[in-house]
Amino acid sequence: MKLYWTRVQDKLERLRANKLFETFVIFVIIASALLIGAKTYEETSRFDIIMRWLDLGITLFFLFEIFIRLAAEKRTLDFFKKGWNIFDFVIVTASLIPINDSEMVLIARLLRIFRVLRLVSMIPELRMLLGALLKSIPRMGYVALLMFIIFYIYAAIGSFLFESVDEKLWGNISVAMLTLFQVATFESWATAVLYPTMEQYPYSWIFFLTFIFLNAFIFLNMMIGIVLDVMQKENTAAQLESGEGEAAEIHWMREHIESMAEQLNRIETQLNTAETASNKGKQP
């Protein structure tokens, strides 16, 4: 029985690692996302029954896929040692909430939206990007803190200098920070903020240009540089890990070949011994 289950696990492992199967899973995830988007249109209400059956089929397929991945593990607990496996398991389990229940329909639909995030767990490149983004957050936090300090200083100066220009834009420091955020994002900042201010303060452009130079150019590029640096390190680590995996596989194959060679030598020695004994027995 144990030998039979081992064979089944090997077949499931090959199925899980099969590229066609992975591609089909990605296709089903995309279909699930499109199905969720289609439900937001009133025109699709006439296909409500069909869409429910499609949703049920997608949910059952996800259960089947999770079962394959669980069963393919030599030890079931090893499946839950990886964060992405836990994420997939939670998403698929949460999708079992019935969508027809009027009290749970909103929660069920929201949870089904998160099935789109399974694309991240299925595609290694997306996992690397998300991992790099999460690891860069602490370093980006210091840049964001410095940006907040600059925002606060410029907002205080702007509220003191330009309150008479437009109280809705510079009435207090909080409103001034929102105005500066509009300036930093270049959202109609020249016509709505700069030009009215320059009518009373001709040299106010210095205030705005220095602010844009600091925030939009320096700090933003610093954040991009942090993400790129972390991504490069993650890519290097992934290449090293892949190289170590290939080296370990080659080492295992070499040991396996050496073991087989030793067994063949033993068999050959036993055959030679048996042949020698047989020849001695035939002598008169």
Report the pLDDT averaged over residues 248-270: 65
Q: Please name the fold of domain 128-237.
A: Helix Hairpins (1.10.287)
Instruction: Report pLDDT for 250.
Output: 61
CA dist 227 and 137 (Å) reads 9
Sign of CA dihedral 58, 59, 62, 67: negative
Q: What is the pLDDT of residues 6-43, one digit of tens each?
A: 777 777 778 877 788 888 888 888 888 888 888 778 77
pLDDT at 109 over 80: no
At 201 the three-state DSSP class reads coil
Name every residue whose Cβ is closer than 8 Å to that of residue 43 and which is 6 or more positions away in sequence.
Answer: none
Sign of CA dihedral 162, 164, 168, 174: positive
Domain spans of the chain, in order of start: 1-122, 128-237, 243-281
Distances (CA, A) of 45 to 39, 49, 92, 161, 177: 7, 9, 25, 57, 45
| Cα atoms in the 13 Å half-sphere on the side-chain side of 145 | 6
Q: How does DSSP classify residue 216?
A: I
Q: Quick one: 273 exposed, middle or buried, by C-beta within 10 A (0-12, 13-18, 19+)?
A: exposed
Q: Does domain 1-122 have CATH number 1.20.120.350?
A: yes
* Residue 129, both tokens: 């990007």
Proportion of the chain above pLDDT 90, given as a percent: 8
Instruction: Report pLDDT for 263.
Output: 67
CA 229 to chain centre: 18
- Which of 122-131, 135-144, 165-174 shows the lowest per-residue confidence on average (mean pLDDT)? 122-131
**Exposed e or buried b for every residue in 17-36, given b needs 16+ CB within 10 A?**
eeeeeeeebeebbeebbebb
- Mean pLDDT for the chain? 79
Tell me which residue of 25, 35, 100, 99 sits closest to 64, measured CA to CA.
25
Ordered DSSP codes for 101-157:
-TTTHHHHHHHHHGGGGHHHHH-HHHHHHHHHHHHHHHHHHHHHHHHHHHHHHHHHH
Cα Rg of the chain (Å, integer): 32
Instruction: Report pLDDT for 81.
Output: 79
Instruction: Report pLDDT for 247.
Output: 53
Q: What is the pLDDT of residues 36-77, one digit of tens each?
A: 888 778 777 777 788 888 888 888 888 888 888 888 777 777
Instruction: Report pLDDT for 178.
Output: 92
pLDDT at 265 over 80: no
Q: What is the pLDDT of residues 140-193, one digit of tens each?
A: 888 889 889 999 999 999 998 888 888 888 988 999 999 999 898 888 888 888
pLDDT at 213 over 70: yes
